[in-house]
């Protein structure tokens, strides 16, 4: 028997065509099916892409808005401190200028009652030895007080009493350092008391000294920022009613109110706080000006 494909002659060709068609159609279907499947996430993560966003003032800070470094903070704080100091100095300068203008006006309206440059003893100050430990001299254009023991004394202008006034004197602690003092007294009333503005090389105070009782300090401070040891220093008291102001070298040292004592005499004082003495004080340019009440 002869095989059929050999016998007919066309069957192998037809079979081959059918096989080819099946392969083509099947491949197309497979491609179509593959293209319709849901995508599967790749095993390797894709590289992230950068998307440009509109600028945001809260999300992105500029260099100016970032926290400064410690060095910048230090520089900023130093600049702020210098600015504050400059403002304080400016305010102090303005205050000093205003105060000087007020003093100029006060002196312009004041009446000078007494003034002594100590070129001689025309005003009859006590000179000579007092209580064995104090020697008073007027020489070399100054009033000198020399102490050989521990004590204090004062001399006043006797001819008038003052309520509203300016009193000032130049004084120098020539020897004795912190053991000696010089000053102004005012509102002095016999057997009652007085105020004492006392100046040391490193300390000053205003005390009220009554005939009975202990002295009371009303104001005090350190004058060294406005004085030089051994130099002449100008002390000034301005009293207007109950207001009392103290000045050292034109700088305001105290401003207070007290009416314990009323009208009284004005003078100068010295003291030695060393039992061995050794204190020498010089006065010059002592003056008193009367002010109108309520000025």
**What is residue 229's predicted lDDT score, i.e. its pLDDT?**
81
Q: Model's pTM, two decimal places?
A: 0.69
**What is residue 47's predicted lDDT score, i.e. its pLDDT?**
36
Q: Which residue has the tokens 């004590």?
A: 151
7 phi and psi, to 5 degrees? -75, -40
**What is residue 112's predicted lDDT score, i.e. its pLDDT?**
97
- What distance lies between CA 156 and its chain's CA centroid? 39
- What distance lies between CA 119 and its chain's CA centroid? 43
38 phi and psi, to 5 degrees? -65, 140
List the chain pLDDT tens, one digit each, 295 residues: 433 444 344 454 444 544 555 454 554 443 343 433 333 333 333 333 333 333 333 233 333 333 334 443 445 455 566 656 566 555 666 688 888 899 999 999 999 999 999 999 999 999 999 999 999 999 999 999 999 999 999 999 999 999 999 999 999 999 999 999 999 999 999 999 999 999 999 999 999 999 999 999 999 999 999 998 889 999 999 999 999 999 999 999 999 999 999 999 999 999 999 999 999 999 999 999 999 987 6
Q: Which residues contact 261 (CB under 8 A, 6 or more apart)?
A: 187, 189, 192, 193, 194, 195, 208
**What is residue 91's predicted lDDT score, i.e. its pLDDT?**
63
What's 226's DSSP letter? S
Q: Which residue has the tokens 């009208």?
A: 263
What is the C-alpha separation between 110 and 168, in angstroms, rounded? Answer: 13
Ranges of each domain in the chain: 111-290
Give the helix/strand (H/E) hosting 165: strand 165-175
What is the C-alpha separation between 217 and 9, in angstroms, rounded? Answer: 147
For the domain 111-290, what is the CATH code? 2.60.120.560
Q: Which residue has the tokens 């204190």?
A: 279
Q: Which residues pair with 143 in a beta bridge?
A: 138, 283
Kindly report the number of other CB atoms within 10 A of residue 207's CB atom: 20
What's 162's DSSP letter? B
């Amino acid at each position: 028997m002869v095989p059929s494909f050999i016998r007919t002659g066309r069957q192998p060709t037809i079979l081959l065509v059918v096989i080819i068609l099946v392969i083509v159609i099947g491949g197309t279907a497979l491609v179509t099916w593959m293209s319709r499947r849901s995508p599967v996430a790749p095993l390797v993560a894709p590289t992230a892409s950068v998307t440009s966003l509109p600028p945001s003032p809260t999300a992105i800070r500029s260099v100016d808005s970032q926290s400064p470094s410690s060095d910048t903070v230090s520089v900023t704080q130093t600049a702020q401190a210098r600015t504050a100091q400059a403002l304080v100095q400016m305010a102090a300068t303005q205050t000093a200028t205003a105060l000087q203008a007020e003093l100029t006006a006060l002196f312009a309206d004041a009446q000078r009652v007494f003034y002594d440059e100590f070129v001689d003893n025309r005003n009859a100050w006590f000179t000579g030895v007092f209580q064995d430990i104090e020697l008073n001299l007027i020489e070399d254009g100054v009033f000198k007080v020399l102490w050989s023991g521990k004590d204090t004394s004062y001399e006043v202008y006797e001819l008038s009493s003052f309520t509203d006034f300016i009193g000032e004197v130049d004084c120098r602690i020539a020897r004795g350092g912190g053991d000696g003092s010089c000053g102004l007294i005012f509102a002095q009333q016999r057997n009652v008391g007085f105020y004492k503005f006392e100046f040391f090389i490193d300390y000053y105070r205003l005390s009220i000294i009554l005939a009975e009782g202990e002295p009371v300090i009303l104001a005090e401070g350190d004058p060294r920022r406005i004085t030089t040891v051994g130099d002449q220093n100008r002390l000034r008291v301005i009293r207007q009613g109950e207001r009392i102001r103290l000045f050292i070298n034109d700088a305001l040292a105290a401003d207070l109110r007290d009416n314990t004592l009323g009208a009284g005499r004005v003078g100068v004082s010295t003291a030695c706080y060393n039992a061995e003495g050794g204190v020498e004080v010089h006065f010059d340019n002592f003056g008193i000006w009367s002010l109108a009440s309520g000025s």
